[in-house]
C-alpha cells in the first residue's frame, strides 16, 4: 500500500554536532507520527562523527532519512537540500544541536491548520547551560490571521523581521510553489535575514502562536555565533540581498529604513565584539563595514542611528568617517 504524502516535513541540518545527536533525535522520536517525515542533512562534518551518530540513532525513528553532502555547503545550502526532497504539506526546521518538547510538532501543525495561514511563527526557549528563558516572538497579536507586512515596521522597534529564526515556526508548501522558502545558497551566517524579509513582504497571511516547545541551545562552541572566523562576514551579503530585493518593492522607501537600521545594529554588534575575531578577520570586518556604511546617504545613516545608543553610534560614525579619510 502506497503511503500518502506526509502532513509535515522536519528538516534538520547537522554539522559537527555529534554530542547533541542523541538528545535531538530522542526529542523527534517523542514527536513522531505516521504522517510526519524527518530529513537529516549531514553537511560533511569536519571535527567529529556526526554522520555515523545519525546513522546509528535514527534507525528507530520512522519515516526518517539521512542525506550526506559531498562537500560542506553551509546552513543555507543544507536546508535547501532538505527542502528539495521534502514531501510534506507543511515544512519546519530544527538545528541539529537543538531539541523539541514532546508533542510540540503536533501542536504546531494543529495551530497551522486551525488558523489556515501561509505560515505560523512561535516563541522559543533559549537554553544557556542550565538556564532556560522563554524568548517571545515580537508580535503581541496572537492566534489570529495577520498580514505579514503589518509586522515589519516600525523602524525603531523590534519586529518580526528581527526574529528570523526559521525553526520557530511552520510553513505551508504553497509558499515554496510561489518561489519562497528556499535560502540563498552558500550563506554561512545570517542566512535567515533575506529569507524572513521575503516571507513578510510576499506571503499573504501568517499568525503567531504562543507555543514554547523549541529549545534553542546558546553558547555551543561549534556554532557560528561563537566563532570569529571569516564565515561571520556573510552577514554583509545577507543584508545586501535584503536591500537589493527591496528595490522592486512598492513600499521600498518605508521598508528600506527598517532594513538599514537592522544592518547598522548588526554591524555595530560585530564591531564591538572585537575579542571574538581573528585579527585579519576583524580588519576585513572594518573594511566591509566602512564600505556598507559608505553606501548609505548621510540622511539614511542619521535616521538609522536614532536612539541606537552612544557607543554604537560613535563606533559606526568612526568607521564611516575613517573610510572617507582614506578615500580623500
Helix (H) or strand (E) holding 104: helix 104-115
pLDDT in tens, 175-203: 999 999 999 999 999 999 999 999 999 99
Q: Environment class of residue 298 by beta-carbon count within 10 Å: exposed (0-12), middle (13-18) or buried (19+)?
A: exposed
Closest-CA residue to 121 (of 103, 104, 142, 106): 142
Contact assessment for residue 39 and residue 85, using Cβ atoms and an 8 Å cutoff = yes
Q: Given this model, what pLDDT does residue 219 score?
A: 78
pLDDT of residue 206: 98
The set of cell numbers assigned to 217 is: 541551545
Name the DSSP class of 146: B
Question: Mean pLDDT over residues 200-223, rounded?
Answer: 90
What band does 227 get if pLDDT is binned at 50, 70 and 90? low
The yes-or-no verdict on residue 322 having pLDDT over 80 is no
Amino acid at each position: 500500500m502506497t503511503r500518502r504524502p506526509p502532513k509535515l516535513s522536519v528538516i534538520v541540518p547537522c554539522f559537527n554536532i555529534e554530542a547533541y545527536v542523541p538528545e535531538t533525535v530522542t526529542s523527534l522520536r517523542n514527536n513522531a507520527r505516521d504522517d510526519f517525515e524527518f530529513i537529516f542533512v549531514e553537511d560533511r562534518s569536519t571535527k567529529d562523527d556526526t554522520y555515523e551518530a545519525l546513522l546509528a540513532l535514527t534507525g528507530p525513528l520512522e519515516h526518517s532519512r539521512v542525506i550526506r553532502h559531498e562537500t560542506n555547503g553551509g546552513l543555507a545550502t543544507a536546508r535547501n537540500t532538505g527542502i528539495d526532497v521534502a514531501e510534506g504539506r507543511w515544512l519546519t526546521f530544527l538545528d541539529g544541536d537543538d531539541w523539541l518538547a514532546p508533542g510540540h510538532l503536533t501542536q504546531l501543525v494543529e495551530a497551522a491548520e486551525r488558523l489556515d495561514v501561509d505560515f505560523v511563527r512561535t516563541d522559543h526557549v533559549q537554553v544557556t547551560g542550565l538556564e532556560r528563558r522563554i524568548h517571545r516572538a515580537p508580535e503581541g497579536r496572537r492566534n489570529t490571521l495577520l498580514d505579514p507586512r503589518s509586522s515589519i515596521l516600525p523602524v525603531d522597534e523590534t519586529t518580526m523581521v528581527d526574529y528570523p529564526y526559521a525553526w520557530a515556526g511552520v510553513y505551508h508548501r504553497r509558499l515554496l510553489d510561489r518561489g519562497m522558502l528556499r535560502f540563498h545558497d552558500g550563506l554561512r551566517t545570517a542566512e535567515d535575514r533575506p529569507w524572513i524579509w521575503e516571507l513578510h513582504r510576499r506571503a499573504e497571511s501568517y499568525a503567531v502562536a504562543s507555543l514554547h516547545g523549541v529549545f534553542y541551545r546558546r553558547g555551543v562552541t561549534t556554532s557560528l555565533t561563537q566563532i570569529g572566523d571569516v564565515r561571520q562576514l556573510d552577514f554583509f551579503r545577507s543584508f545586501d540581498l535584503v536591500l537589493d530585493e527591496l528595490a522592486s518593492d512598492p513600499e521600498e522607501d518605508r521598508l528600506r529604513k527598517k532594513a538599514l537600521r537592522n544592518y547598522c545594529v548588526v554591524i555595530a554588534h560585530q564591531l564591538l565584539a572585537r575579542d571574538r575575531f581573528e585579527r585579519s578577520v576583524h580588519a576585513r570586518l572594518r573594511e566591509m563595514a566602512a564600505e556598507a556604511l559608505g553606501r548609505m546617504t548621510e540622511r539614511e545613516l542619521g535616521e538609522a542611528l536614532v536612539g541606537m545608543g552612544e557607543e554604537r553610534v560613535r563606533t559606526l560614525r568612526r568607521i564611516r568617517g575613517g573610510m572617507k579619510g582614506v578615500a580623500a
